[in-house]
Structure formats: C-alpha cells, structure tokens
Amino acid sequence: MNNYIESNKERFLEELFSLMRIPSVSSDPDRKDDMRKCADRWVELLLSSGADNATVLPTKGNPVVYGEKMISPELPTVLIYSHYDVMPAAPLELWKTSPFEPVVKDGKIWGRGADDDKGQAMIQAKAFETVVKNGELKCNVKFLFEGEEEIGSPSLEKFCIENKELLKSDIILVSDTGMVAEDVPSITTGLRGLCYWQIEVTGPSHDLHSGIYGGGVANPINELCKMIAQMTNSDGKITVPGFYDDVVNVSYEERKLMSKVPFDENKYMTELNVKALTGEKGYSTTERTTIRPSFDVCGIWGGYTQDGAKTVLPSKAYAKISTRIVPGQDSEKIAKLVADYIKKVAPQYIDVKVEYLHGGESYLCPIDLPAYKAAEAAVEKVFNKKPVPVRRGGSIPIVASFEKILGVKSILLGFGLESDDIHAPNENFQVSMFEKGIKTVVEFYKEFSK
C-alpha cells in the first residue's frame, strides 16, 4: 500500500493542483463557469481513481459530483462527502502566494482549497484509488461532492431528499475537519451549527453633510454600532432573550476530559499575536470555541471608506453577523430570535432590515459506533497514537441533515491543522498530513471491512 502511495505522490499533488487552479468560489455569482469546470474535473479524477461511474448531477444551485464503485449489494457502503467549492480569497493583498496558483514550499501546499476542502477530498479519492488498485476494496463506495458548502449547502438537503436511494449507505465519511496536532491525532465528534444574517440600517434617505445635519439626524453607523454592542454583554454572553434556552450543557465529566487535550494558551496567543484572550465567563478557550455559542461580526461597512476625510452623515450602514450554535439549539429558532431582537432594539428613527442568509445545525457523533472504532484504529496505525475524540467549533451543517434525511451517522475523519489558515489568506496544507491522511483512509477501509 505504502509503495503505491510513495510512487504516485507527485501525481497526487499534480491532480490536487489541477483542482486548486480553478477558482470555484461559491459565494461569487461570477464564478458559475468555474464551479462547473471544477465539478467536471472531479468527474475525470474520480473515474481515473477507479470509480465505475461518475457524473455531474444538477441541483437548484451549483451541481453535485456523484461517483460510485459498487462491488456487491451484500457489502456495506461508505458514502464519502466533501465539497469542491472554496471561500473567497479576499483580502488578496495579504496572500504571500497567488491563491489560485498552488505551490509546494516549506513542506506545505499553499493556495485556496489546499486544505478546505480540495486537499482533504483528494485524500479520499487517492486512498480509494490505492485500495482499488491494490485489489483490496471490500465495501461499496459512493462519492458525493457538493459545490455550495461554503455558502451553507442551500441545495443539498433537497438533493438528499430526492436521491435517498442513490445515497443509501451505512456510514458517511467526511474529511473536512482537523486534528489537534500532528503528534496529537484526534477525530472530531462534535460540530457547532451556524446562523448568518445581513443587517441593513437606513437613516436619512441620502448621504448628508455631517456639519449641516450632524447632531440632529440619526447616523445609521452610530446606531448599527449601538445595536451590535448590545448583543453581547461584559461577561461575553449573548444578550438575545431566549438564546441559551435550549443549549444542552456539557457534563462536568466531559469538560474534565476536554481539559486534558493539550492546549498551549501562550502558543495560541503568539500565533494569533494577541496580548490576551477573552470570551464567555466561566469557560476555557477550548470550551468557548467548541461547546459554547459565539457571536461574531464577520463584516461591516458604511459611509466613506476611502483615503482621507469626508465629513458625511451616511444614509446606510451594513453588517454581516453570525452566531455559532451548539447541540440543543435549533438554527431556525435562533434565526428568528436574533432577527426579532434586532428589530426590537432598533430605535424608531432608523429603518432596519435583517436578512437571514443561511444556517445549519450542530452535530454529535457517539464514540461507540463501529465505524468510529474503525477510524480510531486506522489513525492509531498511521499516527502511532490513539486519537482523542474532540469537539470542534466549525460547522458542517449538512452532517446534521444527513442524519435527519438519510438516517446515517457521519465520521469526521479530517487531517487539517490549526496553522492551515482555512478561510483566510495563505491557506495551506501540510504535505505530511496529506500523505498520512491517504494512508489513514486506506487503513479505515481495512478496519471497516473486517
């Protein structure tokens, strides 16, 4: 097995690069052609990796890539889920290499999608290829790669509902998460959910001279700041009434276990270059970023934002705000609670529109599932350490939907590292993790088919 990977690894990287060169940014409406190009490229790659058939299937949004190798209806089926879309590269000026011209440097693959999720999807494709080419595949394999994960998978639920038979499987394998560290291997057992809104505040119907009108007319930026400021309090709690009502509190025992996973606060602060950490009172940084909800303004804009000084009292101000939610919380309910709250606290002298852009539920995986045990054994074999089960702060909303619609649990076996800077400038993926990932998934097939 290792021979096959060793002698083909340059080609594996080249194939990954061919995907990364396609700027499949799902949030950019001008990238529709690139989405299709990336999906078509995946069809070629799945076929050359050993799939019996692979095709692009339409959805109401970007198409999904489906591929399969069905050995026998008697054997269990693994459904591999990933996504071929990526986050926007902005702000471009902060990239040290060009985001869509991948390179290997200092033992890392650099470029948008290197990890999230083209690199990790390629791990799945190349592990599958290795098992097939070695004649060792003993289960059915299906691939489902969507093109809208980074915008909240708006079409995939409907696709799952309409294609239950096609997607029938025993376990779903998802490589879209990370490990604590290369020497602290881990498997993700919990994910946060997400709600994302855009707020538009309108003051006067047109931009005004701040000298002539300043003090007499509400300024939409001043007001937006006040509204955002009052959504959290000095204890780091979200102040929206009812927000925490359904949160399932994590037991003392589980929190104690969590605290044993290595976490170097000084290193964390050094990497982020911050002088201090903050967050919800009564919780550790690990807890704040995994088992507790959070509130972040992801973007804000309004008025004059160019060079120099323009004395304007603007007409409009905007913000993109998001919360991460945790097991127990329902995204639709939170979406409404927050929107209602914003409208309630908005003063009568401004107009406020709240648009719910997307959301998704949190997820929990039991660690006594046979497929989890198989993943655990596979990781231990390659990393020489038993992986720790960890909860993660990110969201893969579709994982909760798979359970609801297809009735199938997912194993979150991912190979990213904190330093990969996914969603940010200079996204990268460690070549060693890419290779270990392929080996681990190969081992997973063996363990799973025992």
Closest distance of CB 423 from a copy of itself, Å: 4
Quick one: which of 399, 379, 438 has its CA closest to 190?
A: 399
Residues 45, 125 contacting (CB under 8 angstroms): yes
| Polymer length of the chain | 450
Q: Which stretch binds a copy of itself (CB under 8 A): 6-14, 47-55, 277-285, 372-380?
A: 277-285
Q: Which pair of structure tokens corresponds to residue 49?
A: 């990796």
Residues contacting 312, CB < 8 A, separation 6+: 207, 208, 209, 210, 303, 304
β-pair type (77-83, 171-174): parallel
Q: Does 279 bind a copy of itself (CB under 8 A)?
A: yes
- Smallest distance from a copy of itself to CB 177, Å: 10
Provide the sign of the torsion angle of the four alpha carbons 184, 378, 85, 286, taken in this order.
negative
CB neighbour list of residue 341: distance below 8 Å, 6 or more residues apart: 231, 240, 241
> Which listed residue (348, 366, 368, 450) binds a copy of itself by CB under 8 A?
348
Residue indicated by tokens 């939170």: 334
The residue among 346 and 371 lying less far from a copy of itself, judged by its C-beta, is: 346
Bridge partners (DSSP) listed for residue 344 = none
The minimum distance between CB 190 and a copy of itself, in angstroms, equals: 12
- Please tell me whether residue 196 binds a copy of itself under the rule CB under 8 A: yes
Q: Which stretch binds a copy of itself (CB under 8 A): 2-10, 65-73, 312-320, 430-438?
A: 312-320
Q: Toward a copy of itself, which CB reaches closer, 189 or 395?
A: 395
Helix 370-383 and helix 431-448, axial crossing angle in degrees, nearest 10: 140
**Please, are residues 201 and 352 in contact by the beta-carbon 8 Å criterion?**
yes
Among 94, 161, 248, 367, binds a copy of itself (CB under 8 A): 94
3-state secondary structure of 324: strand
**Minimum CB distance to a copy of itself, residue 164 (Å):** 28
Measured from the CB atom, is 25 or 413 closer to a copy of itself?
A: 25
Contact pattern from residue 281 through residue 310 relative to a copy of itself, giving x for each residue in contact according to CB under 8 A and a dash for the rest: ----xx-xx--xxxxxxxxxxxxxxxxxxx
Q: Answer yes or no whether residue 181 interacts with a copy of itself by CB under 8 A.
A: no
**Which of 6, 349, 367, 370 is the binder for a copy of itself (CB under 8 A)?**
349
Beta carbon nearer to a copy of itself, 134 or 230: 230
**Using CB under 8 A as the criterion, what x/- string covers residues 124-153 for binding a copy of itself?**
--------------------------xxx-
Contacts (CB under 8 A) with a copy of itself, residues 377-416: 392-395
Q: Is 83 in the site for a copy of itself (CB under 8 A)?
A: no
Provide the 8-state DSSP code for 387: P
Pick 214 or 242: Cβ nearer a copy of itself: 214
**75-to-69, 163, 170, 406, 450 alpha-carbon distances in Å:** 12, 20, 10, 18, 11
Taking the least distance from each CB to a copy of itself, the nearer of 106 and 307 is: 307
Q: 393-428 burial, b if ≥16 CB within 10 A, otherwise e?
A: bbbbbbbbbbbebbebbbbbbbbbbeebbbeebbbb
Residue 85 and residue 407 in contact, taking contact as beta carbons nearer than 8 Å? no
Distance of CA 370 to the CA centre of its chain: 25
Site residues for a copy of itself, window 209-228 (CB under 8 A)? 209-219, 221-222, 224-226, 228
Scanning residues 14 to 73, which ones bind a copy of itself (CB under 8 A)? 26-29
- Of 358 and 446, the one with the shorter C-beta distance to a copy of itself is 358
Nearest to 116 by CA among 99, 131, 130, 104: 99
Closest to a copy of itself by CB, 7 or 348: 348
Which residues 6+ apart lie within 8 Å of 340 measured at CB?
none
The answer to whether 170 contacts a copy of itself (rule: CB under 8 A) is: no
* Identified binder of a copy of itself from the candidate list 24, 124, 169, 322, rule CB under 8 A: 322
